[in-house]
Structure formats: structure tokens, C-alpha cells
Chains A and B, each alone.
Chain A
């Protein structure tokens, strides 16, 4: 069975700092990759996704992620965070040709200090 690891459980940054959240997965075949965000009190929202093509994917609110197949990674980045980015971030992987089941990482809770 595939697994997804998010190495940082809690991250605290000051506004304008750069952000990188790690995500690694274990499946060796073709994958679809997602980052979801959950703002306090709100439902889970799609931040960005990768299906194929350019491995550098741009999402909403200035976020981007890079798929590095050789490293089984899909790290999330933002050059300058804002207080409003305080949220929990989840990486998720779908193994293509193995059903549509998403496997989620454990989540990273980001706090941005004003």
C-alpha cells in the first residue's frame, strides 16, 4: 500500500518568510498529486494539483509545488507567507491505475506570526 509522509507537523513562520513544506510518497508508478488546505473553521480546499506535464505547478494564493519523480516528492512552496496562510496543509497522492483512492499525509499545521 502506498504511503505519504509530511515531515513537518508544525511550522511557525513570521510574515514575509519563505515556506517549503515537504511531501514524499512511496508508490513507484504513475501518480496524481494534490495539496489541500484547511483554514481554521473551514472545509478542506484544493490548493493545487499535478496530473502530468510541467512538474512545476502553480496554485491559488501564490502557492506552487514541484514534482520530482526521482525523489518521490511533491514539496509545496510560497516565497512570502502572510498571516492569512495560517492553516493546516495536506499532501495527497492517487496511484493511477490503482483506483481513485487518495492517500493523505498526516498534515502540517502552519502558523504565521503577524
Chain B
């Protein structure tokens, strides 16, 4: 079974704080993804990575950065958290290729006050 874990289930931060969300996968997957999930909007892709130290912007990268120093770990960074970044953040991984299936972690619910 693919396992994708996220460092926190719930986080409360203040406006302006730097926030780190960590994601680890145990299936040696090439690709890793960060999404945010908001009611009525589904999941929107923030960033993804197809290899160590490689990253690509998704649909809504503004206000976020990412880091992938090791294959199994993909971090999402909010340099200066704002209230409009209050959301559920989901990490996913996939083995790559044309017929890729993405597997999701449990999510981190972030509240920015």
C-alpha cells in the first residue's frame, strides 16, 4: 500500500509567520504534488516536483514555495502566512509516466489568524 504522510493534521499560525508543511511518501515515487482544498473549488494545484530539486508551478503558486531535497520528502513553505491561506493542504505522490495515479496524504488543516 502506498503511504503518504503529512507532518501535522492541524496547525494554527499567526499572520506573517513562516509555515512549513512536510510530506513524506514511502513508495519511491518520482512525482510529488501540493494542493489546497477549499469548499466548492475542489483541489487546486500549488506546486509539483518531478525529481529531487526540481519544481514546477501549478495553478496557484503565489505566496508559496516548495523544497524537495530528498526523493521521499516534499515541503510546502508559506513565507509569510496570510489569512487567505487558511485552507486544507493535501500532498500527493505518483510514480510518473503517462498513466499515473496520484495517492494522497491525510491533509493538514491550516488556520491563519
Contact = CB atoms under 8 A, between A and B. Distances in A.
A60 interface: no
Contact of A44 (B40, B44, B104): B104
A96 interface: yes
A94 interface: yes
B97 to A, nearest CB: 8
Given A96-B98, A100-B94, A43 B104 contact: yes
Contacts of A104: 35, 42-44
Interface string B40-64: 1111110010100000101100000
A14 interface: no
A101 B45 CA distance: 8
Interface in A44-73: 44-46, 49, 51
Q: How large is the interface on B (under 10, 10 to 19, 20 to 34, 35 or more residues)?
A: 20 to 34
Interface residues of A, number: 28
A105 B42 contact: yes
Which among B45, B101, B105 has the highest number of chain A CB atoms within 10 Å? B101
Contacts of A46: 101, 103
B99 A51 contact: yes
A113 interface: no
Contacts of A25: none
Given A43-B106, A90-B42, 19 more contacts: A6-B42, A32-B98, A32-B99, A36-B104, A43-B90, A43-B104, A43-B107, A44-B107, A46-B101, A49-B101, A51-B99, A94-B100, A101-B45, A102-B43, A102-B45, A104-B35, A106-B41, A107-B40, A107-B42
